[in-house]
Amino acid sequence: MSHRRVVITGTGVISALGTGTEKNWQTLLAGKSGISPITRFDTGKLDTRIAGEVKDFEAEKFIDRREVRRMDLYAQYALAAAEMAVKESGLPIGPDVPHGYTPEKVGVIVGSGIGGIASLEEQHRKGLEKGFDRLSPFFIIQMIINMAPGLISMKYNCKGPNWAPVSACATSAHAIGEAWKSIKLGETDAAIAGGAEAAITPLGVGGFSVMKALSTRNDDPTAASRPFDKDRDGFVMGEGAGILVLEEMEAAKKRGARILAELVGYGANSDAYHVTQPAPEGEGAARCMRLALESAGMRPDEVGYINAHGTSTPFNDANETKAIKAVFGDHARKLAVSSTKSMTGHMLGAAGGYEGVVSALVLSRNALPPTINQTSADPDCDLDYVPNQAREARVDAVMSNSFGFGGTNAVLLFKRF
């Protein structure tokens, strides 16, 4: 692969912790949970009645009011996070802009695990009540997942690769990794990449609830997401978006961009084992972490922190711990590992994008976010999970893990610039 280097110059996030990178970062460091009772629909018949709802999002601050009504919430999140990332980056596109990138060389790779499920539910209900000839003419474009990158590309005149990976909870990590490859290979010079999700709906929550995948700690929402803790009982759904602006390093330096971190490695593979459970001993996850290290030409002992997939499910957390030990050996005991899902909930297809932003900030801000709700030690989860309190620390390389239903895995590796 080409020796072109790829750097991160912009970030945009929306989560249950709030809208905007700075708000999210400060709340993460404070160890505050965004999990609360679901307010959008009646959960009375569900086993799970809590989630990480976004509370402060105002779409009209980012999107024309007339257009908002034509978009599903997941696409609104994607557009808003992209605007924040592009604004922070100062990404120049077009021949009339100083140091402007050729539009044909700027890509948009933004995915979602589920897409426009709220629009699907609403229009199905409308069809049953009034007839399917009364559906909104915008229904299909509200629902399909590639509309998020399509809308972003139209807004910023990005005429390079434009597509949406769909790989469950690994979606946005795959998006960022594929954008990295595209720049490395010279297909593009810059990219907007990540993911968005808005699946806190009756169908979304109900579906995961009947699978028995979700926490039922309804009486104590802020303590419900507890990755690596002995008393974990399932994940908590979250929502939002995480978007990065990636640029070829020399071009970014030439225009004087503020560089947050360098993306140096990417691994993608499959467990080929089970539709929902990880492979025994975390075998697939371990292989994926090794692939990321190999692509970066790095040794395991060069990594100082892992932003774990850390879902708060019994199977994932134990197997991810085993995978880390298998890859890092004795160095696993020296690593800091934390799961920001303990505060945001699991953002599904947006998780890897959000956690990619966190990984870049760990390198540029010299601090590690905690894993909150660490109160009961699990003998199967015995690493340093940065329990309950953030930590000042300088690390030179960060790994971000994302694993999804269907056995799909994606690992990103960031380095201090």
Active-site residue, selected from the candidate residues 158, 288, 309, 381: 309
Q: Does residue 286 sit in the same domain as residue 399?
A: yes
- The pLDDT of residue 2 is above 70: no
Q: Mean per-residue pLDDT for 153-170?
A: 98
Which residue type occupies 178?
Answer: E
Percentage with pLDDT > 70 across the chain: 100
- Is residue 1 domain-resident? no
- The pLDDT of residue 140 is above 60: yes
pLDDT at 172: 98
Burial (CB count within 10 angstroms: exposed 0-12, middle 13-18, buried 19+), residue 302: middle
Q: Does residue 286 sit in the same domain as residue 176?
A: no
Active-site residue, selected from the candidate residues 158, 174, 288, 346: 346
Q: Mean per-residue pLDDT for 67-90?
A: 97
pLDDT at 261: 98
- The pLDDT of residue 1 is above 70: no
Q: Does residue 246 sit in the same domain as residue 312?
A: no
- Is residue 260 domain-resident? no
Q: Mean per-residue pLDDT for 61-84?
A: 97
pLDDT at 372: 98
Q: Does residue 329 sit in the same domain as residue 232?
A: no
Whether the CB-CB separation of 226 and 370 falls below 8 Å is answered with no
Query: With bands split at pLDDT 50, 70 and 90, how would you rate the model's confidence at 207?
Result: very high
Asked which of 204, 229, 254 is the last residue of a domain, the reply is 254
Q: Does residue 24 sit in the same domain as residue 100?
A: yes
- Is residue 2 domain-resident? no
158 is catalytic: no
- Is residue 259 domain-resident? no
Burial (CB count within 10 angstroms: exposed 0-12, middle 13-18, buried 19+), residue 137: exposed
Q: Does residue 385 sit in the same domain as residue 283?
A: yes
- Is residue 116 domain-resident? yes
346 is catalytic: yes
Q: Does residue 189 sit in the same domain as residue 329?
A: no
Alpha-carbon distance of 248 to 394, in angstroms, equals 25
The 3-state secondary structure of the chain reads CCCCCEEEEEEEEEECCEECHHHHHHHHHHCCCCCEECCCCCCCCCCCCEEECCCCCCHHHCCCHHHHCCCCHHHHHHHHHHHHHHHHHCCCECCCCCCCECHHHEEEEEECCCCCHHHHHHHHHHHHHHCHHHCCCCHHHHHCCCHHHHHHHHHHCCCCCEECCCCHHHHHHHHHHHHHHHHHCCCCCEEEEEEEECCCCHHHHHHHHHCCCECCCCCCHHHCCCCCCCCCCCECEECEEEEEEEEEHHHHHHCCCCCCEEEEEEEEEECCCCCCCCCHHHHHHHHHHHHHHHHHCCCHHHCCEEECCCCCCHHHHHHHHHHHHHHHHHHHHCCEEECCHHHHCECHHHHHHHHHHHHHHHHHHCEECCECCCCCCECCECCECCECCCEECCCCEEEEEEEECCCEEEEEEEECC
Q: Mean per-residue pLDDT for 149-162?
A: 98
Query: With bands split at pLDDT 50, 70 and 90, how would you rate the model's confidence at 378?
Result: very high
Q: Does residue 239 sit in the same domain as residue 358?
A: no
Query: What is the overall mean pLDDT for the chain?
Result: 97
Percentage with pLDDT > 90 across the chain: 99
Active-site residue, selected from the candidate residues 158, 169, 288, 381: 169
Query: With bands split at pLDDT 50, 70 and 90, how would you rate the model's confidence at 391?
Result: very high
Q: Does residue 193 sit in the same domain as residue 301?
A: no
| pLDDT tens, position by position, 281-331 | 999 999 999 999 999 999 999 999 999 999 999 999 999 999 999 999 999
Asked which of 226, 254, 282 is the last residue of a domain, the reply is 254
Structural domain of residue 28, as residue ranges? 7-254
pLDDT at 3: 79
| pLDDT tens, position by position, 173-201 | 999 999 999 999 999 999 999 999 999 99
Asked which of 225, 254, 283 is the last residue of a domain, the reply is 254
CB-CB neighbours of 85 under 10 Å: 29
Alpha-carbon distance of 378 to 255, in angstroms, equals 49
Residue 61's φ and ψ, nearest 5 degrees, are -75, -20
Q: Does residue 311 sit in the same domain as residue 351?
A: yes
Q: Does residue 245 sit in the same domain as residue 279?
A: no
The total domain count for the chain is 2
- The pLDDT of residue 345 is above 90: yes
174 is catalytic: no
- The pLDDT of residue 78 is above 80: yes
Q: Does residue 230 sit in the same domain as residue 301?
A: no
CATH number for the domain including 236? 3.40.47.10
- Is residue 337 domain-resident? yes
